[in-house]
Amino acid sequence: MKRILRLTAIIAFLFLTVSVFAQRRNTAYNEYIKRYAPLAVEQMKLHKIPASITLSQGLLESGAGNSTLARKSNNHFGIKCGSNWNGRTVRHDDDARNECFRAYRNPRDSYEDHSAFLKRGARYAFLFNLKITDYKGWARGLKKAGYATDPSYANRLITIIEDYELYKYDTRGLSGISPRKWEKELKKKPWLANPHQVYIANDIAYIVARDGDTFQLLGKEFGISWKKLAKYNDLQREYTLEANDIIYLKEKRKKAAKPHTVYIVRDGDSMHTISQKYGIRLKNLYKMNRKDAEYVPEIGDRLRLR
C-alpha cells in the first residue's frame, strides 16, 4: 500500500512539474523560435556564435518580435546606432529619451548585423574563445562586456535557453542538418533564409508581400491553404501578388477596430485597398456604406469603417 501511495505521489509530482513547465512556455516565444531558428543556426555556422544565444537575445530584446523596434524597424536585438553606423535609423526611448537605434529592411539584415556587431566589437572578442556549446559563458560574457545594463541580463538569457531548450540548436543545428543539406533545404523552402515579418491589424496577423511571392509559397511558409489565403484577402486565385500587398493570414473582420470609424478617400484608394488597410471584409465594407460592386470611391468620399 505504501509503495502504491509513494508511486501515486511521484506521478502527481511529475504531472505537476510538466504542467508548470508547459505553462512557462509562451506561445509567442514558440512561434518566434520556429520562425527564426533557421536564421540563428545559419549565423552560428557562419560566425561561430551559439544559435541559442542569438535566439534568446532576439526573444528577449524584441519581446518575441512584438516590440515597436522589431515591428517597425526590424531591429530584433536592440542595437543602437553607434558612431560607425551609416544605415537607416529610428528614434526610440530606452535608457534615455529619443535614443538612436538601427533600422533594417528585414529581420535577416538584423540577424546578420547582430553577428557583425559582436565580431567587430573588441570588447566581445574573448567570447569567441568559448566553446560553441557554452551558452552560460556567452550569456555571462555578454553582460560582462556591457551588451545590456540590466543586472539580471545573463540569468534571463540562460532561463530562456533552458526553458525552451534552445541549447539543442548549438549541438545539432537544425535537426542535425549539414551545410550541404541546409542549402538544399533553402532551395525547397526559400523563406527559411528570410522569413516574412508578421504584423497585426484589427487583431489579425498579416504580412507584406515581396517580389516573387505567390499564394502557394506563402501558404507553404505559414502552413495555410493557398486557396484560403486568396479568399481571406478578397482576391481571385489567379491574382499575381505584387510587392507591398497586404496579405492577411486569417479571415478579416466585419468592421474596423476602434477608433477607426470613418475614412476619407485619398488619391489611389480603392475599396479593396481600404478593406486591406483596416482588415475589413470587402463585402462588409460595401454593405456598411450601402454601395454595390459598381461603386468606385472618389477623393473626399466619406466611408464608414464600423
**Which amino acid is located at 38 in the chain?**
P
Whether 120 is in a domain gets the answer: yes
- Is residue 120 located within the same domain as residue 161? yes
Distances (CA, A) of 84 to 80, 102, 301: 11, 11, 48
CA 89, CA 58: separation in Å to the nearest integer? 19
Phi, psi angle pair for 59, to nearest 5°: -60, -45
Q: What's the pLDDT at 298?
A: 94
Neighbours of 179 (CB within 10 A): 10
Whether 3 is in a domain gets the answer: no
**The last residue of a domain, from among 181, 213, 238:** 181
What residue ranges in 50-198 does DSSP mark as E strands? Answer: 89-92, 99-102
- Is residue 151 located within the same domain as residue 298? no
Whether 2 is in a domain gets the answer: no
Candidates 185, 35, 183; CA nearest to 110 is 35
Q: Domain tally for the chain?
A: 3
- The grid coordinates listed for 89 are 535609423
- The grid coordinates listed for 235 are 482576391
Whether 186 is in a domain gets the answer: no
Q: What's the pLDDT at 305?
A: 95
Task: Tell me which residue range forms the domain holding 275.
Answer: 262-304
Phi, psi angle pair for 2, to nearest 5°: -65, -40
- Is residue 129 located within the same domain as residue 155? yes
Candidates 223, 191, 187; CA nearest to 209 is 191
**Which CATH number goes with the domain that contains 206?**
3.10.350.10
What residue ranges in the chain does DSSP mark as E strands? Answer: 89-92, 99-102, 199-201, 204-208, 246-248, 262-264, 302-304
> Along the 306 residues of the chain, how does pLDDT read in single tens digits?
444 444 444 434 433 343 334 334 578 898 999 889 989 988 888 888 999 999 999 999 999 999 989 998 999 999 988 877 888 899 877 767 888 999 998 999 999 999 988 988 888 888 988 888 899 999 999 999 888 888 899 999 999 999 999 998 887 665 555 556 666 666 777 666 667 777 778 888 888 898 889 999 898 887 789 999 999 999 999 999 999 999 998 899 999 988 899 999 999 999 999 999 999 999 999 999 999 989 999 999 999 999
CA 135, CA 149: separation in Å to the nearest integer? 19
Q: What's the pLDDT at 185?
A: 66
- Is residue 109 located within the same domain as residue 164? yes
Which contiguous run of DSSP H or E holds residue 205? strand 204-208
Neighbours of 67 (CB within 10 A): 16
- Is pTM beyond 0.85? Reply is no
Strand pairing partners for 201? 204
- Is residue 177 located within the same domain as residue 219? no
